[in-house]
Amino acid sequence: MSKIIQGQFVDIKNKKIFPAEISIENEKIVKIEEKQHDVKNFLLPGFIDAHIHIESSMLVPTEFARLATIHGTVVTVSDPHEIANVLGKEGVKFMIENGKKSPLKFNFGAPSCVPATNFETSGAVIDAEDIKDLLALPEIKYLAEMMNYPGVIYKDEEVLKKIAWAKHFDKPTDGHAPGLRGEDARKYAEAGISTDHECYTAEEAREKLGLGMKILIREGSAAKNFEALIDLLPEHYKNIMFCSDDKHPDDLILGHINQLCARAVAKGIDVFKVLQVACINPINHYNLEVGQLKVGDPADFILVKDLTNFEVLQTYINGELVAENGKSYIKSLPFEKPNNFNTSYKKPEDFKIKAAGNIIKVIEALDGELITNEIQQKALEKDGELISDIENDILKITVVNRYEDKAPAVAFIKNFGLKKGAIASSVAHDSHNIIAVGTSDEEICNAVNLIITHKGGICSVNGNDQKVLPLPIAGIISDKDGWETGKIYQEIDKMAKDLGSTLKAPFMTLSFMALLVIPDLKLSDKGLFSGKKFDFVDLVDKN
């Protein structure tokens, strides 16, 4: 079946815009002809998210596609690291098979760090032999983010085997090394690490660009480095890509990579350079089978209203109109619901901490950041126990092993701002145990048990007032469509803020408080952990 699409053709390579007519046959572009017409809208290649964990949208790939294509996204470079930490290789294969049922072109990586560290309990292990098996699959395009940068620098045998297999299959290796500079950064890049999406200063990014790495400008629901890095784009546009990394469903409803293009152009950056970053660079770096709006290419492209706001009017993938004017033409499909959830209900006394000193180490959460600080605070004591200090915003935080019955790890955190109740989630990077913050042991226990009841989810609780979004797929993914998931998520997010939280995205921030590979102070199911020392530390200062 042939199609003809008209518009103002955006020629990114030659930096030209002209009226044109595109002819499509058998899913490919067979002719691009300069031709006068009255259509004022712009034709350009589809947007690409160069690094995303689909699971963080709390949607299966087929449901993610229904939302993302509305905003002109036709391709993702997707690290299935989250589901792999729960279900191992079978989780990766679940994502691949589900993604195949969607027109959106998902390109998955082989998760390199499952578990992310040995200081936490995950549901699975993916070793070098598993990496070999995954990289041999044509659907696996790269070795996903190598978070174990100490293992790279100090030449850990297992880590180097994984990188070697990526080189064997001629597939790139993604990086993840926040704050890594100097000689260590050089060793990391020379080992074959090709990208980094974790830079939080322009100086760090510039240094890594100088080492030959590609830099990803990231704007997710919690982690954001757009403002810190965007001024690098005009000079380094050939070696920069856009990504979201983690995008919650309510944010995905509002926009995707199109938002980053609009913000970049609003800063006066050349639109052709912006589109090179958003539409072309990931194809070249990851060797993706995606159309670039050229004759002979798959007909993957979008029609936008203008080149300032990038309002997407139509999205085409393989010549098929998959979204138009905010409506998705992709249908919901049935899918399996694999899970791994084997812990029993908890009691309030499981979260008590006996007083053994009055100066404690406290996790300082930073709004919009994955990194945290370690601060020293005087603990609030009652009846020989350490309790949440609501007045000074020093609240209890717990991580509960979801894979087996173990005593919860409990510590304290600042900046969640809750004045009553508790919030909890089984989306807790990277092992996805249950994580909760609350104002009392009873409220924390209620929130944790609500997650256990549903074998995964996010919730806000305040006495008998409870709101929960069940996540029955691996304990991290909803079985509902994107719009319903986003609506419920918004309600729970609003309740968390009504309970006092001042964070822009309290659940996204909460999900990173167990991410040990991002410094500094974090909490795993095994205890309080210092990212700087890369070891467990005591809660109470005994000096």
Give the model's pLDDT for residue 486.
93
Parallel, antiparallel, or unpaired for β 527-530 and 380-382? unpaired
Helix (H, G, I), strand (E, B) or coil at 473: strand
DSSP E strand boundaries for 348-500: 353-354, 359-365, 372-378, 380-382, 385-387, 394-400, 409-414, 422-425, 434-438, 457-462, 465-470
Q: Where are the domains of the chain?
A: 46-289, 348-536
419-435, pLDDT tens digit by residue?
999 999 999 998 999 99
Q: What pairs with residue 528 in β-bridges?
A: 523
Instruction: State which H helix or E strand residue 315 sits in.
Output: strand 312-317
Q: What is the C-alpha separation between 267 and 457, in angstroms, rounded?
A: 39
Q: What is the C-alpha separation between 272 and 15, in angstroms, rounded?
A: 6
Please enumerate in sequence order all residues whose Cβ is within 8 A of that of 508, keeping only pairs 6 or more positions apart, or say none: 220, 221, 222, 246, 248
Instruction: State which H helix or E strand residue 75 sits in.
Output: strand 73-78
Please enumerate in sequence order all residues whose Cβ is within 8 A of that of 113, keeping only pairs 6 or more positions apart, or say none: 81, 145, 146, 147, 148, 430, 517
CA neighbor of 526 nearest in space, from 224, 104, 239, 116: 116
Give the model's pLDDT for residue 371.
87
Give the model's pLDDT for residue 210.
98
Tokens of 479: 């079985």
Q: What is the C-alpha separation between 278 and 301, in angstroms, rounded?
A: 12
The pTM (predicted TM-score) of the whole model is: 0.93
Superfamily (CATH H level) for 46-289: Metal-dependent hydrolases (3.20.20.140)
Give the model's pLDDT for residue 370.
81
Pure H helices in 473-527: 482-498, 506-511
Contact assessment for residue 366 and residue 225, using Cβ atoms and an 8 Å cutoff: no
Q: What is the C-alpha separation between 251 and 206, in angstroms, rounded?
A: 29
Pure H helices in 385-467: 441-453
Give the model's pLDDT for residue 368.
76
Give the model's pLDDT for residue 1.
62
Spans of the chain, pLDDT less than 70: 1, 542-543
Helix (H, G, I), strand (E, B) or coil at 310: coil
178-198 per-residue burial string, b: 16 or more CB within 10 A, e: under 16: bbbeeebbbbbbebbbbbbbb
Q: What pairs with residue 298 in β-bridges?
A: 28
Query: Max CA-CA distance within the chain?
Result: 82
